[in-house]
Amino acid sequence: MVARIMVTNGPGGHPSWKHAEVTANKIVQVDQNASEEKQAAAAKLRRELEEALTQHHEDVKQWELSHIEEHGIDRCEHALAVENEHVDAVMETLANLTSGTILEDHFSKPEVLRIIREEILLPEFATQLHIHRSELADANRGHPCAEAYHTRHHGEKA
Amino acid sequence: MATTGICNSWKVEAMFAAHCFGAIVSISGTTTNTAFTITGLASTAGIAVGMAATGTGVAAGAVVASIDSATQVTLSKASTASATVTVTFTGDAFKILLIKVGPGRTFDNTQTNVGTPGTGSPTTSNVGTDEVASGGGYTSGGVALVNTSPSLPGTPSTTATVSFANPSWTSATISTTAAIIYNTASRLGAATTAAITGRSVSVHDFGGTQTVTAGTLTLVMPTNDGTNAIIRIA
């Protein structure tokens, strides 16, 4: 039940590489008793995945920012819905990175893929959407959409 | 300072069904003026007794009194209109608050209640003035959590879990050392007062002071699986 902290000073939310590090570490976990070969393969995959995920998280960020630019403060009224294509792209990257490796079997299991998709990628991408909308609401305090957003997601802002 | 752990009192209260982690269920149903039943539901999956019900024509403050069938529930209050509407059933509202730097006491699994955050002496039943002060993007009481419904992830499934979306504080200038997850619902009776609210669920130490300046602080919840989830019952 260890929760991790991400802190970024200044506006704009967290940089994509920070999200990528979190996501990669959640996806690639290896038992301490695993063989050295598996430990090494996991470490290599984590590095490669983190690098690839930086672009995926950046894509999500730019996608959300483009919608904020299009809709303005009304974006706060939209559902915090992650696009399937963003998740699918990561799943494809993961399949490519693990193909032919000692980790391929593990990352082919339906239950493992379900957890990666539903319990890791969806919430981590949704976190990005939320942060950018929260900043949007912060910048538009007093607007009904901003106040409603803060009430729903933050409680009243001080 | 704090020591990470599930609160002892929560373990007991969970067995009293005093905490409902059920996620939101929004579903079409038919209300009938002055009747207590909601009929015509496509399913009652994910709905539990005690969940709040809201929707056009649903009386304010109504909660689920019973699950009658796969298509019908009975509420605690009679509906005020007859119509087929979207009815939303919600579990308890959980929040997470932050503990300041240099708190007066060490928070741990003996914490029973957050009491009146920001006010009063810190005790096991009141976070009091050990909470981060309001201002700089932080509001006393913390932020609302969005929970996932309890499940048995993994194959085979032997560990029940529940988790929350990652809470974030944006445009924030905050220093903090720990957090407490708590339940804002009023499900527990008491000997001398009305129903108790603010029951503590868990305490989370951050391993030191975490400071953000005019930026974003995010608490990343562990993966909701049988090994890592923030709340697990094996």
The mean pLDDT of A75-104, rounded to a whole number, is 96
Polymer length of chain A: 158
Tokens of B92: 């308890």
Polymer length of chain B: 234
* Residue A33 φ/ψ, nearest 5 degrees: -90, 5
The residue to which tokens 């990528």 are assigned: A20
Tokens of B23: 């996620």
Q: Please report, as a single letter, which amino acid is at residue A157.
A: K
Listed in order, strand segments (DSSP E) in B32-159 are 37-39, 52-54, 64-67, 73-75, 83-90, 94-99, 143-144
Q: Which of A8, A115, A123 sits opposite B215 (nearest CB)?
A: A8
Find all residues with CB under 8 Å of B115, minimum gap 6, and list them.
Answer: B123, B125, B126, B127, B128, B198
How many inter-chain contacts (A to B, CB under 8 Å) are there? 128
> Which ipTM was obtained for this model?
0.93
Residues of chain A in contact with residue B94, where contact means CB-CB under 8 angstroms, are none
pLDDT confidence of residue A1: 55
Which DSSP letter does residue B138 get?
A: B
d(CA B174, CA A158): 12
A138-147, B15-24, B126-135: which range is least confident on average? B15-24
Q: Is the pLDDT of residue A156 over 60?
A: no
The mean pLDDT of B107-111, rounded to a whole number, is 96
Confidence class for position B148, pLDDT limits 50, 70, 90? confident
d(CA B145, CA B62): 22
Burial class (CB in 10 A: 0-12, 13-18, 19+), B185: buried
Tokens of A16: 């994509």
Q: What is the mean pLDDT of chain A?
A: 93
Render pLDDT for B48-99 as a digit per residue (tens, 0 to 9). Answer: 999 999 999 999 999 999 999 999 999 999 999 999 999 999 999 999 999 9
Domain extent listing, chain A: 45-154
Q: Is the pLDDT of residue B147 over 90?
A: no
User: Distance from B28 to chain A by nearest Cα, in Å?
Assistant: 19
Residues of chain B in contact with residue A22, where contact means CB-CB under 8 angstroms, are 220
d(CA B144, CA A148): 13
C-alpha torsion sign, points A118, A120, A122, A127: positive
* Residue A4 φ/ψ, nearest 5 degrees: -110, 155
Q: Which of B153, B222, B232 sits opposite A2 (nearest CB)?
A: B222
Q: Is the pLDDT of residue A154 over 90?
A: no
* Residue A8 φ/ψ, nearest 5 degrees: -140, 120
Could you check whether the bond before residue B156 is cis, i.e. omega within 30 degrees of 0?
Answer: yes
Q: Which of left, alpha, beta for A144 (phi over 0: left; psi -120 to 50: alpha)? A: alpha
d(CA B209, CA B218): 14
Return the H-helix or E-strand segment holding B58.
none
Inter-residue contact B142 to B107 (CB < 8 Å):
no
Confidence class for position A158, pLDDT limits 50, 70, 90? very low
Say yes or no for a CB contact (<8 Å) between A126 and B165.
yes
User: Distance from A99 to chain B by nearest Cα, in Å?
Assistant: 23
pLDDT confidence of residue A153: 77
pLDDT confidence of residue B182: 96
d(CA B162, CA B141): 22
* Residue A72 φ/ψ, nearest 5 degrees: 65, -145
The mean pLDDT of B146-165, rounded to a whole number, is 83
Inter-residue contact B113 to B83 (CB < 8 Å):
no
